[in-house]
Homo-oligomer: A and B are copies of this chain.
Amino acid sequence: MLTHLDEQNRPKMVDVSSKNDTNREATASGIITMSAKALDMVLNNKNKKGPVLQTAVISAILGAKQTSTLIPMCHPLMLTSINCDIDELKDGFKLIVTAKLKGQTGVEMEALTGVSIGLLTIYDMVKAVDKSMVIKDIKLLKKSGGKSGKYELKL
């Protein structure tokens, strides 16, 4: 079936040409868990590769801007804001990324990509101490704007 590439079977970027520009916003979060020793090194800046959380925030912002080159069917977007917060957990960190745009399509993927790249950066900077870290709970918390309107994750 693959080679016929019929309507069901061909990847495509959804056509948003006729959508209106609206203010759009999306927030996503994700968690990385690590050993007590690794957590301590991050919190006290004793890490071999340098300050972990600052680097994670910067990579999350840069990563969100790369979304349309990384995710094949995403539209290129002119983000007007990317913000990255980090919460300290008992056994790791939670990253929360919010992306904004005035445009024709949503920014959920930008928020989710920012979270993912930020968490991977934490993994990279700490892996000399702990290779068993786990990245988890990457999810869309909420979005607003566009025809489909508001969405908020039920907890």
Residues of A within 8 A of B (CB): 1-3, 5, 8-17, 19, 23, 30, 42-46, 48-51, 53-55, 57-59, 61-63, 65-66, 68-86, 88, 100-105, 108-109, 112-113, 116-117, 119-121, 123-125, 127, 131-140, 143, 151, 153-154
Contacts and interface: CB of A to CB of B under 8 A. Distances in A.
3 closest A-B pairs by beta carbon, nearest first, are: A11-B50, A15-B81, A135-B138
B73 A55 contact: yes
Contact of A124 (B69, B109, B125): B109
How many subunits of this chain does the assembly comprise?
6
Contact of A69 (B5, B17, B62, B123): B62
Contacts of A120: 70-71, 109, 112-113, 116
